[in-house]
Amino acid sequence: MTRTSAAALPLARDEATPPPLIATLAVDALIAEARLTPKPALVDERGSGAHRDLDLDTMLRSARALQPTFLAIARAACDVRPSQTLREQLARIGREGEAAMMRATSGSNAHRGAIWIVGLLCAGASMHAPDDVESICASAAAIARHEDRYAPASATTSHGARVSERYRVAGARGEARDGFPHARFVGLSALDDARARGLDEPDARLNALIAIIASLDDTCVLHRGGSNALDAAQRGARRVMDRGGVGTDGGRAALAQLEADLLTLNASPGGAADLLAATLFLDSLRRLA
């Protein structure tokens, strides 16, 4: 059956996930992404990857500091529809959350992108049943399409904003406004496929990350290494997939080469990591049903 637009659907509060649980699942998704090992050139259990100002402990402190932010976002979106007012309310909560993150990390930007991506999905999750991934993403996208009239000037000069303009790529804002296609159609599909083939959970999640890297125009990679780095990231990720994924010897060898190439270029697929966290969050929601 074809669904109508999520923004037009009646909200069923009795069916939606309670805000405290939404916040817990969001933090758990960030922690699961951070701990997943081995990720190419990203912070994990082995070390800092291509990052000089981040390590696993910092990532975990950042994730836990965001629990009140995700809770406030989910509560704000209860019993309302996507609107300009809600967009600006969530933006204010998000900026407060970013300040809390920076305090927890002594100034390191661990999860700025995730506050936007996962935060919007927390809002969508408070409006719909947990297994209704389509409507959750559609409502979150409807929120994202409204402009924040009170955004600070720095929002238009961030690394992501500048890279998106320079390279004409969607970036995190475009991903959200398009309904999170890399989480819905790439990440979740790769996760389901890997589980169906009997891979263990860490390998299934790594395969999801690799699938996202292979198709995402990652602004973090572009910021650090330009189009050459993005090409290396996408080609290397496709090589992992062509060799059967990380559950095979050939796939593991290709993953190691992908990491070596990204480290040489000082490039880290941070945008893909945020979308893996979004994938894991949506997966945890649908498992509640």
Q: Does some domain include residue 6?
A: no
Task: Report the b/e string of 79-111 with b at 16+ CB within 10 A.
Answer: eebbeeebbbbbbebbbebbebbbebbeebbbb
Query: Across residues 97-124, what is the average pLDDT?
Result: 96
pLDDT over 60 at 6, yes or no: no
Q: Does some domain include residue 54?
A: yes
CA 136-138-141 angle, 5° bins: 110
pLDDT over 90 at 146, yes or no: yes
Note down the domain range covering 83: 17-148+158-286
| Torsion angle in degrees (nearest 10) through CA of 64, 80, 16, 201 | -40
Q: Does some domain include residue 11?
A: no
Q: Does some domain include residue 3?
A: no
Residue carrying structure tokens 């990857």: 49
Cα separation values, 179 from 108, 121, 207, Å: 28, 10, 22
Per-residue tokens: 143? 């929120």
Q: What is the pLDDT of residue 31?
A: 98
- At 4, the pLDDT band (50, 70, 90 cuts) reads very low
Q: Does some domain include residue 222?
A: yes
231 contact partners, CB below 8 Å, separation of at least 6? none
Query: Across residues 181-206, what is the average pLDDT?
Result: 98
Q: Does some domain include residue 10?
A: no
pLDDT over 90 at 9, yes or no: no
Q: What is the pLDDT of residue 71?
A: 98
pLDDT over 80 at 159, yes or no: no
Residue carrying structure tokens 């090409």: 231
Whole-number mean pLDDT of the chain? 92
d(CA 220, CA 269): 6
Please report, in angstroms and rounded to a whole number, the separation of the first and last CA atoms in the chain: 19
pLDDT over 80 at 10, yes or no: no
The number of folded domains in the chain is 1
Query: Across residues 88-105, what is the average pLDDT?
Result: 96
Q: What is the pLDDT of residue 284?
A: 98
Q: Does some domain include residue 143?
A: yes
Q: What is the pLDDT of residue 34?
A: 98
| Torsion angle in degrees (nearest 10) through CA of 119, 278, 113, 181 | -110
Q: The pTM is what?
A: 0.93
**Residue 96's domain is classified under what CATH number?**
1.10.4200.10
Q: Does some domain include residue 70?
A: yes
SS3 43: coil
* pLDDT, greater one: 9 or 205: 205
